[in-house]
Amino acid sequence: MFRRPLSCAAVPVLAAFAVLLHSGSGAGAGGEIPKAPGHRLIARYEGSPATAAPLPGEGPPQHPYLAPNGRSGMHSDAAGSATSPWSGPLGENPQVTSQQIAVLGGECATATFDSGGRLVTVCGTFSGFKVKLLHPGTLATLAEYRLPQRSSTVEAITSLDFSKILKDTSGGAYFYLDDRDRAVLADSRQHVLRLAHSQNADGGWKFSVVDDWDLTGHVPHDCVAWTNLRPNGTCDPVTSVMPDWDGRIWWVTRQGRVGTVDPATSQIRSVRLEGEEIQNSFSVAEDGVSIVSDHALYGFRAAADGTPEVQWRQTYDRGTGTKPGSVNQGSGTTPDLFGDGYVAITDNADDRMNVLVYRRGTDVAADRRLVCKVPVFGSGSSTTDNSLITWGNSIVVENNYGYENPAGLLLGRSVLGGATRIDVRADGSGCDTVWESAVRAPSVVPKLSTANGLLYFYEKEPNDWGIDGWYLTAVDFRTGERRWRQLTGTGPLYDNNWAPITLGPDGTAYIGVFNGIVAVRDR
């Protein structure tokens, strides 16, 4: 995404930008993303094509106000399952294409798909975010809408600390596509926008703002801008938006504000979780809204007038500090709603991170809410800042420990990595580890195709020659075995920097990378 942790100083980040310019991106945006030297010296493809093996079971309920499951947002659906109901590539002579979006930056993180299969995405350029409509085959831009510049960009330029851009989760990185193909997001002015796209008589496309709800009466907004370089007040960016089952648009802010907008009346209501941060998105089911802060997991419902009300609250082990690979001292996951009324997150325990599964609902006794607590990955080297994958009673978690920004993986370096599958027992008595994989996916939001049984990661292995090769990797959901991997490119321009893999309805895997977007499809 356009987010995520950077505790480093400005120098290594500026060094990364220097590498980007040297690699060719200074020649101007457009065309293929340039590859760094060495791409002909490493394997292009490893493994062998997989045979589709569909997974039994049913997907999450279809949200009435979202685009169809798999098309609507970063985490695929309202439940945050990170699954797609169609097949991704099987590895049959894969073809890789890419599109450079900007001279610097250009990462297209959240990708959604309208009813015609076109991509609706938000891409982060050095000058600001752009909502883009992309052709699914050529990746050409069909239309774009420029969002207001974020405060973090101004701060980065004035302080020469570009970590401020890369760790900012606000401004539209989390958005969703609704049931009428409209993008809904919160911009950096603390406004919630609803954008429609349409085709002109001449065949061209355009975006139009159909709704604009101003949250500044509820959210502090004295933010850094070119006309306000030294603000005296507070700036609280809006992190994410999602609709509930009644059509209200919920929103959360970095400083713990939780609110709603009634689209029919434009009435806005909000509350605050004092002393808590919300840096991730949230999930929605018919029984309520699940939000995780850096202190606790919450179940919310809206009162009759739309005011968010806490139904239950569950604290977790938030550890004693922020780990390398985490944005703050708390869970790095968006809650996953799955199985028979379960919700899963991870904690931030000091030695080993735990996957936590709870029973959600207001009728659950406090001593019965926790289903299981499963430690994952190695001692002193485990964290994740990405959503889990859930299907049936299964959970897949990846290890992001050590990833902070593209500069940290230069010259053939990588992270410890790892992925683990955990299953909740059929009787709800606990959980069991099914398999552990050594796959090294530094920061990607992975996905599962339930139509073919493959998990998709974005992998980078250490390289003694200093070559930075990035691979789309397919792992068998049932066994944890790596089936195949395909080289997408080399160098920091191909670092995905917290963006997700998104499986398109046509079987293509799309990956947001630092300089734009990459597509991998079977020939």
pLDDT digits (tens, 9 = 90+) for 393-445: 999 999 999 998 888 899 999 999 999 999 999 999 999 999 999 999 999 99
| Mean pLDDT within 178-196 | 96
Mean pLDDT of the chain: 91
* pLDDT at position 13 over 50: no
Q: How far is CA 51 from CA 450, 484, 507, 522, in A?
A: 13, 12, 14, 13
Confirm whether 259 is domain-assigned.
Answer: yes
Residue 402 one-letter amino acid? G
Residues whose CB is less than 8 angstroms from the CB of residue 290 and which lie 6 or more positions away in sequence, other chains included: 282, 283, 284, 297, 298, 299, 300, 335, 337, 343, 360
Residue 22, SS3 per DSSP: helix
Give the strand pairing for 119-125 and 128-134: antiparallel
| Mean pLDDT within 179-205 | 96
Sheet of 509-513: strand order equals 94-100, 516-522, 509-513, 501-503
Confirm whether 55 is domain-assigned.
Answer: yes
Rounded to 5 degrees, what are φ and ψ at 164?
Answer: -65, -30
- Please give the pLDDT value at position 165: 65
Rounded to 5 degrees, what are φ and ψ at 25?
Answer: -70, -15
Q: What's the pLDDT band for 6 if we cut at 50, 70, 90?
A: very low
Token pair of 389 as six digits: 């994958």
- Please give the pLDDT value at position 439: 97
- Find residue 421's DSSP bridge partners: 396, 435
Query: Other C-beta atoms within 10 Å of 467: how many?
Result: 18
| Domain containing residue 353 | 10-522
pTM value?
Answer: 0.93
Nearest to 271 by CA among 285, 282, 284, 257: 257
Residues whose CB is less than 8 angstroms from the CB of residue 266 and which lie 6 or more positions away in sequence, other chains included: 213
- Please give the pLDDT value at position 5: 33
- The answer to whether 334 touches 78, Cβ cutoff 8 Å, is no
Cα three-residue angle 44-102-510, rounded to 5 degrees: 45
DSSP string, 9-42: -HHHHHHHHHHHHHTTGGG-S-SSPPPPTTTTSS
Q: What's the pLDDT band for 230 if we cut at 50, 70, 90?
A: confident
Cα gap 319→333, rounded to integer Å: 15
Residues whose CB is less than 8 angstroms from the CB of residue 24 and which lie 6 or more positions away in sequence, other chains included: 34
- The answer to whether 415 touches 402, Cβ cutoff 8 Å, is yes
**pLDDT > 70: what percent of the chain?**
91
Give the strand pairing for 454-459 and 447-449: antiparallel
**pLDDT > 90: what percent of the chain?**
80
| Mean pLDDT within 226-231 | 82
Nearest to 240 by CA among 170, 182, 344: 170
Cα gap 174→3, rounded to integer Å: 10
Q: Is the dihedral of CA 251, 497, 345, 245 positive or negative?
A: positive
Cα gap 101→125, rounded to integer Å: 8
* pLDDT at position 173 over 90: no
| Mean pLDDT within 317-333 | 92
Check which CATH number belongs to the domain holding 115 and give it.
2.130.10.10
- Please give the pLDDT value at position 171: 67
Token pair of 179 as six digits: 């049931």
Confirm whether 3 is domain-assigned.
Answer: no
* Number of domains comprising the chain: 1
* pLDDT at position 383 over 80: yes
* pLDDT at position 152 over 90: no
* Numbers of helices and strands, H then E, in the chain: 3, 34
Token pair of 201 as six digits: 């008589």
Token pair of 61 as six digits: 């309920």
Confirm whether 1 is domain-assigned.
Answer: no
- Please give the pLDDT value at position 19: 40
* pLDDT at position 29 over 80: no
pLDDT for 301-313, tens place per residue? Answer: 999 999 999 999 9
Residue keyed to tokens 């963006």: 499
Q: How far is CA 261 from CA 84, 169, 185, 187, in A?
A: 29, 21, 12, 15
Confirm whether 490 is domain-assigned.
Answer: yes
Residues whose CB is less than 8 angstroms from the CB of residue 303 and which lie 6 or more positions away in sequence, other chains included: 269, 309
| Mean pLDDT within 480-504 | 96
Cα gap 51→453, rounded to integer Å: 9
Q: How far is CA 188 from CA 146, 152, 228, 263, in A?
A: 12, 10, 14, 20
Dihedral over alpha carbons 171, 409, 324, 14 (to 10 degrees): -60
Dihedral over alpha carbons 82, 84, 87, 88 (to 10 degrees): -40
Dihedral over alpha carbons 312, 172, 3, 458 (to 10 degrees): 100
Confirm whether 2 is domain-assigned.
Answer: no
Confirm whether 463 is domain-assigned.
Answer: yes
Sheet of 238-243: strand order equals 238-243, 249-253, 257-261, 268-272
